[in-house]
A and B are shown apart, each in its own frame.
Chain A
Amino acid sequence: MAHQADARRALDERGYTGALIRGDNPLKLFEKAVRDRIVDSYYWKEQCFGLNAATLLDRAVELTFIGGTYGVAQKPTPFLCLAFKLLQLTPDREIIEFYLQQGGEEFKYLRALAAFYVRLAWEKDEEVYSTLEPLLSDYRKLKRRTRESWQITYVDQFVDDLLTKSRVCATTLPKINPRLFLEDENRLEPRVSALGEELEELDHDDEERVNGQSDESDEGQMNGHVDGNGLADSQPDHRSDDSMDGD
């Protein structure tokens, strides 16, 4: 299936014999409108024709921004087209992890693309959380194309949105259990932040003094019982979408 040059086979659902994601055609993770825009776009037709995992890497390193659809005509970004291609290829776990870790070290947009794919395609919540949370310490800048303008975001911000929001980059993310829930069920450990040591220091400082450190002003009300480990993600339902998504 990786070399199906004609995308019609994959989009036509009747004879689909390929990898299933959550029991369905992986391409169905994108909505019909978005799928149509992608397939009709020039980028898809020119650049995403007959890609495999290696050649997709070539395209991905040329990415310069992330985003969903933009403009009046809902034009898809190359990022979205490549994500669609990844869904079509459904590469192996190792490939994706390579994209995330080694490839991502050098190419941040590749990392963003792989993170997007992980959030969409992997079905076990624990794996999603445990794979994406190390990326929360990557603070490189990303260019993001919204519907009318450009924005600057960061890799950790993007990953956080993937984990908490319900709609990112013109796609409705499949539902995952909130982290609290998984922690209650002991399927996950509470999150260890990259600021682990510093947080403990801050906690100690807080117990001694009234005010926190100057640059961590929002830590002034920290409770004593919480240490760096007793933290968890909140429920995604409470989050309303801000301008993060490209819809």
Chain B
Amino acid sequence: MPPPMPNPAKRMTANPAKPVARYRPGKPVAEQESSDEEEEHEEEQPQQPQRKPQARRPPPKRPAAPVQQESEDEDEDDEGFVTEEEDEVPARAATISQQSANAASTVSRSVPLKQESTQPRSEEQESSEEEEEESVSEESSSSEDEQPQRKFQRPTFIRKSDRSTSIHSQTATPDPSAAADVDAARRRAQAELHIKDKLERDILARAAGKKSWDDDDELLPESMVDDTDGLDPEAEYAAWKVRELKRLKRDREALIAREKEIEETERRRNLTAEEREREDKEFLEKQREERESGRGQEAQFMARYHHKGAFFQGDEVADVLKRRNVMGARFEDEVSDKSVLPEYMRLRDMTKLGKKGGTRYKDLKSEDTGRFGDEVKRWRGSGGADRAGAAGGGGGGGGGGKGEFDTRGLDERFLPDDQRGGGGGGGGRTGPTGANASGLGSRKDSHRDRDGYGGGRDRSKDRERASHDRRKRSYSRSRSRSRSRSRSPRRQRRDSPSPSPSPSPSPSYHDRNRDRDRDRHRDRNRGTREELRAY
């Protein structure tokens, strides 16, 4: 059903629809409150003393008349404090007016009252109201029965002028109070009955041994198990015997196990080292085999293996379901072991078969690009048998004569020292490598000699000159830039031809110059160079 159309007459609020009317003292308030209807009816009674309490009645904004119906306590001795509704009409009116001022704790009780009181009344409503209140009070008292008597009735204050003890009110209005009396007596009797019942129930409960701290008996009664002895002495004795013998057996087995272990350690101590190794190896093999064969259904090759987690172990239902694989197939021709499939179809998620993209990661072993462990096997030097069985088949045959690693694919930079230079030809000097491999320019000896004696000044001049030259040189020799970026003036770049990339230059003019240069200047500039080097 579609929601109802909003009614323009109604305000969009949960409050009562009609706005609150102004209270004017002395005038009846046009309200729809049931309490007020009651009050109005009572107002109709031509009783002058009621004017005053009516006048003093507070604006009836309260949602309902909280008539507190505790017929049990009809105690009117407390001056000014009335905890329940009184029997007599004027007193009742007064109390109702007072109680309507209370924040009612018994709104639920007032609801039935309200519903009842909205019925139209044709006559003086004492009796009918009394009946209502009786019924309400019965309801209330019945609800009271379920709970222990813990509710404390909130006392309401009645002004001294409004107070009337039963005696006075009785004398004042004999007629209505006669009927009220009968009802009051009836209700009082009922209340006492209720109290008596409750007390008896309490005594019974205490006698039955229900302790206040022990309230779990409804769920799991203690009588589920019975611990009386002597029901069947022989059976009990026999059961005890069995238990005792089990304990003895356990102790004995512990003793035997200990002795066995001692014996085993002795035995192993007497074996030689190889025998121990052999036994260890056998044990490890056996362990591995057990582990791998035991992984039957769950973790096969490329199977989707979902482990539920260590927390969810041991449930019987879960175990049964785990072992059952009849219904595990996700599609019609699913195989559990994908090694029978061609490589293209070895996918973890078969929905991605034939689709572009995605990594085709299979498992670690196949994706591993390193040859980890091969070197280790070779370095052991444990004989040709191992090498033949090595995983790297290509490398196995082509390994160097010394049984080292395969150097065929290595960059020349990573070659071992004895294999450099094209296989170690001829014992030639390899010379400086890498950044030092640039060729040296020819020396200009005169210039060098002038620069011989040190001093920062000379050096700086030298540096300037060198940079100047370098700049000049850079234009002309842009294509033949030296591999080394060294700016040291030692390098005779001015006259150097384009450097040859060969790391081992043949003995030439350059070398001679260089050597002479080095030697000469080493001695001369020893002092300065060492000073500088001290930094």
The answer to whether A156 has its CB under 8 Å from any CB of chain B is yes
Residues of A within 8 Å of B250, CB to CB, are: 234
Contact A136 B254 (CB under 8 A): no
| Most A CB within 10 A of own CB, among B211, B241, B255 | B255
Contact assessment for A46 and B227 in the assembled complex, using a CB-CB cutoff below 8 Å: no
Answer yes or no: A42 CB below 8 A from chain B CBs: yes
Question: What is the 8 Å Cβ interface bit string for chain A, positions 66-109, against chain B (1 contact, 0 not)?
Answer: 00001100010000000000000000000000000000000000
**A64 in contact (CB, < 8 A):** yes
Q: Is B236 interfacial (CB 8 A cutoff)?
A: yes
State the CA gap A215–B245 with chains docked (Å): 11
Instruction: Tell whether, in the assembled complex, residue A154 and residue B240 are in contact, meaning their CB atoms are under 8 Å apart.
Output: yes
Q: Tell me, in angstroms, the Cα distance from A138 to B501 when the chains sit together.
A: 100
Are B216 and A71 in contact, CB atoms less than 8 angstroms apart?
A: yes
> Which of chain A's residues has its CB closest to B212's CB?
A42
CB neighbors of A among B237-254 (8 A) = 237-254
- B15 interface residue (CB < 8 Å to A): no
Q: How far is the CA of A43 from the CA of B228 in the complex (A)?
A: 25
Q: State the Cβ distance, B368 to closest chain A Cβ, in Å.
A: 40
Alpha-carbon distance between A233 and B240 when the two chains are bound, in angstroms: 17
Q: A150-B222, A152-B227, A216-B245 are in contact. Are A46 and B213 (CB under 8 A)?
A: yes
Binds B, one of A4-12, A121-129, A167-175, A224-232: A224-232
Q: Decide if A149 is an interface residue (CB 8 Å cutoff).
A: yes
B244 touches A218 (CB 8 A): no
Give the CA-CA distance A136 to B237 in the complex, in Å. 13
B238 proximity list for chain A (CB < 8 A): 215
A-B contact count (CB 8 A): 99
Asked whether A117 is an interface residue with its Cβ less than 8 Å from the other chain, the reply is no
Q: Which of B160-204 touch A at CB < 8 Å?
A: none
For B251, the chain A residues whose CB sits under 8 A away are 179, 191, 231-234
B229 contacts chain A at the CB level, 8 A cutoff: yes
A1 interface hit (Cβ, 8 Å): no
Interface residue? A142 (CB, 8 A): yes
A215–B239 Cα distance when bound, in Å, is 10
Tell me, in angstroms, the Cα distance from A194 to B220 when the chains sit together: 36
By the criterion CB–CB under 8 Å, are A149 and B243 in contact?
A: no
Given contacts A75-B216, A193-B248, A234-B251, contact A139 B222 (CB under 8 A): no
When distances are taken between beta carbons in the complex, the residues of chain A under 8 Å from B253 are: 234
Specify which chain A residues have a CB less than 8 angstroms from the CB of B247 in the assembled complex.
Answer: 136, 160
Within 8 Å of chain A (Cβ to Cβ): is B224?
yes
**Given known A71-B216, A139-B240, contact A230–B255 (CB-CB < 8 A):** yes
With beta carbons under 8 angstroms apart, the residue of B222, B237, B245 that contacts A219 is B245
Query: Interface on chain A toward B: helix, strand, loop, or mixed SS?
Result: mixed
Give the residue name and chain of the A residue nearest to B216 (CB): A71
Q: Are A218 and B246 in contact (CB under 8 A)?
A: yes
List residues of chain A with CB within 8 A of the CB of B420.
none
Chain B residues within 8 Å of A151, by CB: 225
- CB of B281 closer than 8 Å to a CB of A: no
Decide: A46 and B222 in contact? CB cutoff 8 A.
no
Interface string of A216-247 (1 = CB under 8 A from B): 10110011001000111111001000000000
Q: Does A131 contact B (CB under 8 A)?
A: no
Instruction: Chain A residues near B244: list those with CB within 8 A.
Output: 136-137, 156, 193-195
Q: Output the nearest chain B residue to A221 by Cβ-Cβ distance.
A: B249
Q: Is B258 an interface residue (CB 8 A)?
A: yes
Q: Do residues B243 and A152 form an inter-chain contact, with CB atoms below 8 A?
A: no
A112 to chain B, nearest CB (A): 11
Could you tell me the distance between the alpha carbons of A235 and B225 in the complex, rounded to whole angstroms?
32
Asked whether any CB of chain B lies closer than 8 Å to the CB of A22, the reply is no
Q: Which residues of A28-59 have CB atoms within 8 Å of chain B's CB atoms? A: 41-43, 46-47
Distance to closest chain A CB from B27 (angstroms):
59
A195–B254 CB distance below 8 A: no
Contact B224 A139 (CB under 8 A): no
Q: Which residue of A lies closest to B249 (CB)?
A: A218
Residues of chain A within 8 A (CB-CB) of B242 are 215
Total interface residues on B, CB under 8 Å, equals: 35
Contact across chains for A65 and B255 when beta carbons are under 8 A apart? no
Cα(A226)–Cα(B259), bound, Å: 13
Whether A140 is near chain B, meaning CB under 8 Å from some CB there, is yes
Interface pair A141/B248, CB less than 8 Å apart: no
* Chain B neighbourhood of A143, CB < 8 A: 222, 225, 227
Contact B241 A195 (CB under 8 A): yes
What is the CA–CA distance of A64 and B226 in the complex, to the nearest angstrom? 10
Determine the distance from Cα of A43 to Cα of B216 in the docked complex, in whole angstroms.
Answer: 13
Residue of chain A at shortest CB distance from B246: A218
A184 CB to nearest chain B CB (Å): 10
Cα separation A63 to B381 with both chains bound (whole Å): 76
Contacts A156-B240, A232-B254, A234-B251 hold; do A43 and B213 have CB atoms under 8 A apart?
yes
A139-B237, A154-B240, A215-B238 given as contacts; is B220 within 8 A of A149 (CB)? yes
Residue of A149, A194, A232, A235 contacting most chain B CB atoms (<10 Å): A232
Do B243 and A156 have beta carbons less than 8 Å apart? yes
Smallest beta-carbon distance B82→chain A, Å? 37
Within 8 A of B (CB), among A181-226: 191, 193-195, 199, 215-216, 218-219, 222-223, 226
Which A residues are in CB contact (< 8 Å) with B252?
222-223, 226, 230-231
A180 CB within 8 Å of chain B: yes
A25 at interface, CB cutoff 8 A:
no
Given A42-B213, A46-B212, A141-B228: A180 and B245 interface contact (C-beta under 8 Å)? no
Q: A136 vs B224: C-alpha distance in the bound complex, in angstroms?
A: 26
Residues in A whose Cβ lies below 8 Å from that of B220: 148-150
Q: A65 contacts which chain B residues (CB < 8 A)?
A: 222, 227
A75→B245 CA distance, assembly (Å): 36
Residues of chain A within 8 A (CB-CB) of B225 are: 143, 150-152
Report the bound CA distance from A56 to B216 in whole Å: 24
In the bound complex, how far is the Cα of B250 from the Cα of A40, in angstroms? 41
Interface residues of A (CB under 8 A from B): 41-43, 46-47, 64-65, 70-71, 75, 136-137, 139-143, 148-152, 154, 156-157, 160, 179-180, 191, 193-195, 199, 215-216, 218-219, 222-223, 226, 230-235, 238
Known: A42-B213, A230-B255. 19 other contacts (CB 8 A): A43-B214, A46-B212, A64-B222, A137-B240, A139-B237, A143-B227, A150-B224, A152-B225, A152-B227, A157-B243, A179-B251, A194-B244, A199-B248, A215-B242, A216-B245, A219-B245, A222-B252, A232-B254, A232-B255
- Give 20 CB contacts A-B under 8 Å: A41-B213, A42-B212, A43-B211, A46-B212, A65-B222, A139-B239, A139-B240, A142-B227, A143-B222, A143-B227, A148-B220, A150-B220, A150-B225, A156-B240, A160-B243, A195-B248, A215-B242, A219-B245, A231-B248, A231-B252
**Nearest 8 A-B pairs (CB), nearest first?**
A42-B213, A139-B240, A234-B254, A141-B227, A150-B225, A143-B227, A231-B251, A43-B213
